[in-house]
Amino acid sequence: MNDKTIEWLLQGEPWVEYRTRVDLLEQSPDDPQVIAARKAMLADPKIKALLTELTDWPGTVLNSHKSASQSFHKLEFIAALGLNINDAPVKKIADKVMKHQSEQGPFQLPTNVPVHFGGSGKDTWAWALCDAPVLLASLIQMGMRDDPRVQKAIEYLNGLVRDNGWPCAVSPELGKFRGPGRKDDPCPYATLVMLKVLAHVPELQESKSTKIGVETLLSLWDESMERHPYMFFMGTDFRKLKAPLFWYDILHVLDILSHFKWAQKDKRFKDMLQVVESKADIDGRYIPESIWTAWKDWDFSQKKVPSKGLTFFVQQISKRNNH
C-alpha cells in the first residue's frame, strides 16, 4: 500500500478518514487527528441519517435477507465503523435490539414467512441463522460482549455448528421454513456470518467451530465449480467488488477470513485475495463492479471511478494479511 493511496483515502468521507487512521496507519484513539476524524464522522449527515433510521428499530418487517436496505445490515455497517454504546444514540438502539431475545438466546426480528414457504404468513418475532449472527456481531462490536444476554446468544448459536459448518436453521416460530438446499448441506452465508461473530470473541477465535467454519468456506472456494449449497454460488457475481460488505461475495468472505491468522496462510485464501488485488488500478485503487442501489448516495455506489470506501475495505484486508 503506497503513501499516495493513503493520502487519497485521508481525503475521503469522514468515516473513511477515521478508519484509515485507526486501521491502516494504526494511530491511537487518543491522537488528535483520530479524535477529529471520529467527531466529523459522527456529525456526517449520512451517518446521522443511518442513526436516526436505526433509532426507529426494527423498522420494516423482514422480506429478503439480501436486501441492503434492511435495518440489520445498516446496524452491521455502523458497528464496523466503530460506533459504540458510548455514542448517542447507539446505546438506545442496542437496547431496542436486545429487548427481543428468544428463549433459545438469539435476538429476534419481525419476520413474515409466506404459507407456501412453510411459514404462518403472519408478522412474527423470530430469528434465522442468516440474521441472528449479524445482530449479535454488531452488538459485540458495539461494546456489549460481556452482557449475559449476548453471552447466551453466542453460546447457543455457536452450538449449532455441524461437521461441515452451520446449517440453515430458524427459530421455532418459523415452523418448517428452510432455504433452497439439501438439509445436510451447510448454509454458506450462515457459516460466514457465524464466523463474523467468532472473529470478535477472542476466546473462540481458535475454537473447533471456527476451524470448521473457515474450512467450509475455503473448500467451497476450491470446489466453486461443483458445489453450490443453498444456491450460494462463487462464480462471476460473487467475484465482483461490492461495498458495504453485507452478503455472500468475495470481499465479505475475505474480510471475515482475514481475522484468523491461520486462515491467511492457506493457499485458498491467498488465491481469493489474488483475485481481488489483481483488480487494482495503477495507484492501488478499486472501482466498484456491483452496487447496492439502496446505498446510492455513497461513493461505492457507482461503477465509473475508484471508490475510497471500497478501496479502504480492500486495503484493510490486505493490511491484516501482511501483519
Query: Quick check: 42 and 87 in contact, CB under 8 A?
Result: yes
Quick one: how far is CA 205 from the chain centroid? 17
Cα–Cα–Cα angle for 114, 118, 119, rounded to 5 degrees? 50
Task: List the grid coordinates of 80.
Answer: 464496523
pLDDT in the model for residue 116: 73
Query: Quick check: 71 and 9 in contact, CB under 8 A?
Result: no
User: Could you tell me the mean pLDDT of each successive run of 10 residues in the chain, 323 residues long?
Assistant: 91 98 97 98 97 93 73 96 96 97 96 73 89 97 98 98 95 78 89 98 97 98 86 91 96 98 97 97 96 95 98 97 84
Task: List the grid coordinates of 302.
Answer: 457507482
pLDDT in the model for residue 63: 65
pLDDT in the model for residue 62: 65
pLDDT in the model for residue 214: 98
Q: pLDDT tens for residues 64-99? A: 677 778 899 999 999 999 999 999 899 999 999 999
- Spatial CA neighbour of 23 closest among 321, 322, 315, 310: 315
Which amino acid, 292?
W
pLDDT in the model for residue 118: 66
pLDDT in the model for residue 224: 87
Quick one: how far is CA 3 from the chain centroid? 28
